[in-house]
């Protein structure tokens, strides 16, 4: 269903962009309408092929198709946003009938320039975002310990071994006491590439490497990507808690959106936190939902991902309506919540305006 909606939306955006482009004076003078329509059909066909033959398959051709399809989708989106802004300002050409076609041309230029900037931003390495957090119940011997968190790596055909090795090096440079991965480690279309697992295995910390599953880990079925995570050396928290040290508890849930779509009953948050001993509890959830419930259950710190911070503006405004905890640090009933905007990217290697990030969290007793 998601794919149908996505492909339908992209088809609509392409029709809108090419329809408006046909009225731009420069294009209408230099490109015959039949050529413009023909090129639109060719690009649409290539985009559809990218999602049928390129997405999730291996090989150079599949990689080229998927790379084209995802970036074409982002280009269409930004051009559509700029064109729609011009249409609103001009009353869809009724208010400024003579100037509107030229303004649409400048809107297309703006969409292309924003796409180029987003591509440059997306290709940049993620930044290390540091936080100092005071949490209740933390044993004094845990004061000053460093947690490094990555979320939404989306490892697959586009983000692969070389990119991952650089991220592992970034994490190791932080000298973490604990490493956590907040879901969507793999893109989830087919089994992860085996060559990625030894690279992931280089992640290490004195208190272990822990992970929860994101929605993309459910794409291949409920158990499809647990084994590769464990092969990579991660200890996976599936609606459970573990005492990493006396008085220092780590709890985690399977992705809440995936469980919701699957119609699973019960309360995974309560299940993950039930029966834990006294002390500080750090709660890992891919999706930033139920923070209030976690705070009421006595959680000391909640770490999440999933939203990508919107990834490409202005999607952030829409996504914030679904996920009010969009990115950064929040306080929910006295409990600190940190939402990562993601280390990798979903789809295109593009971000507008904020870069990807790796979280470095230093904890202190409150």
Same domain, 267 and 308: yes
Q: Is the omega angle on the peptide bond into residue 180 within 30 degrees of 0, that is, cis? A: no
In DSSP terms, 361 is beta-bridged to 131, 147
Q: What is the per-residue pLDDT for 156?
A: 82
Q: Which parts of the chain sit beneath pLDDT 50?
A: 222
In DSSP terms, 329 is beta-bridged to 338
Same domain, 106 and 245: no
Q: Give the structural domain span for 58.
A: 2-123
Q: What is the per-residue pLDDT for 222?
A: 45
Same domain, 90 and 143: no
Same domain, 107 and 171: no
Answer with the one of 123, 155, 179 that is the final residue of a domain. 123
Closest CA to 347 of 10, 8, 1: 10
Same domain, 21 and 157: no
Q: What is the per-residue pLDDT for 52?
A: 77
**pLDDT per position as a tens digit, 3-39:** 788 889 999 999 999 999 999 999 999 899 899 999 9
Answer with the one of 86, 104, 123 that is the final residue of a domain. 123
Domain count, the chain: 2
CATH classification of the domain holding 242: 3.60.21.10
Q: What is the mean pLDDT of the chain?
A: 91
Cα–Cα dist 75/342, whole Å: 21
Same domain, 119 and 183: no
Same domain, 299 and 313: yes
Q: What pTM was computed for the model? A: 0.91
Closest CA to 233 of 193, 204, 255, 191: 204
Same domain, 225 and 182: yes
Same domain, 104 and 214: no
Answer with the one of 54, 88, 123 that is the final residue of a domain. 123
Same domain, 138 and 32: no
Same domain, 219 and 296: yes
Radius of gyration of the chain (CA): 23
Q: Cβ contacts of residue 64 below 8 Å, gap of 6+?
A: 54
Same domain, 31 and 141: no
Residues 328-331: contacts with CB under 8 Å, at least 24 apart: 329/131, 330/291
Q: What is the per-residue pLDDT for 229?
A: 83
Over pLDDT 90: what percentage of the chain? Answer: 77
């Amino acid at each position: 269903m998601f794919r149908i909606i996505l492909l339908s939306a992209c088809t609509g955006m392409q029709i809108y962009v090419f329809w408006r482009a046909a009225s731009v004076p420069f294009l209408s003078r230099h490109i015959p309408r039949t050529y413009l329509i023909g090129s639109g059909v060719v690009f649409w066909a290539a985009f559809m092929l990218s999602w049928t033959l390129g997405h999730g398959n291996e090989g150079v051709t599949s990689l080229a198709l998927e790379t084209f399809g995802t970036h074409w989708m982002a280009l269409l989106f930004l051009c559509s946003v700029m064109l729609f802004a011009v249409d609103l300002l001009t009353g869809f050409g009724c208010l400024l009938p003579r100037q509107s076609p030229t303004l649409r041309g400048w809107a297309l230029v703006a969409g292309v320039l924003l796409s180029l900037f987003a591509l440059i931003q997306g290709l940049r390495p993620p930044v290390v975002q540091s936080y100092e957090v005071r949490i209740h119940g933390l044993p004094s011997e845990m004061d000053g310990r460093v947690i490094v968190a990555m979320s939404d790596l989306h490892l697959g055909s586009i983000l692969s071994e070389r990119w991952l090795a650089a991220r592992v090096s970034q994490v190791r440079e932080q000298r973490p006491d604990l490493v956590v991965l907040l879901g969507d480690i793999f893109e989830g279309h087919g089994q992860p590439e085996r060559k990625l697992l030894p690279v992931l295995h280089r992640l290490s910390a004195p208190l272990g490497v822990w992970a929860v599953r994101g929605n993309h880990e459910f794409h291949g079925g409920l158990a499809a990507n647990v084994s590769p995570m464990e092969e990579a050396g991660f200890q996976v928290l599936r609606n459970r808690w573990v005492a990493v040290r006396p008085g220092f508890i780590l709890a985690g849930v399977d992705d809440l959106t995936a469980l919701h779509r699957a119609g699973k009953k019960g309360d995974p948050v309560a299940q993950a936190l039930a029966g834990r001993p006294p002390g500080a509890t750090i709660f890992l959830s891919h999706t930033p939902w139920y923070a209030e419930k976690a705070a009421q259950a006595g959680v000391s710190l909640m770490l999440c991902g999933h939203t990508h911070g919107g990834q490409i503006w202005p999607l952030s405004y829409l996504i914030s309506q679904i996920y009010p905890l969009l990115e950064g640090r929040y306080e929910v009933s006295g409990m600190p919540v940190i939402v990562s905007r993601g280390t990798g990217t979903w789809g295109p290697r593009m971000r507008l305006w904020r870069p990807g990030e790796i979280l470095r969290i230093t904890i202190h007793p409150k």
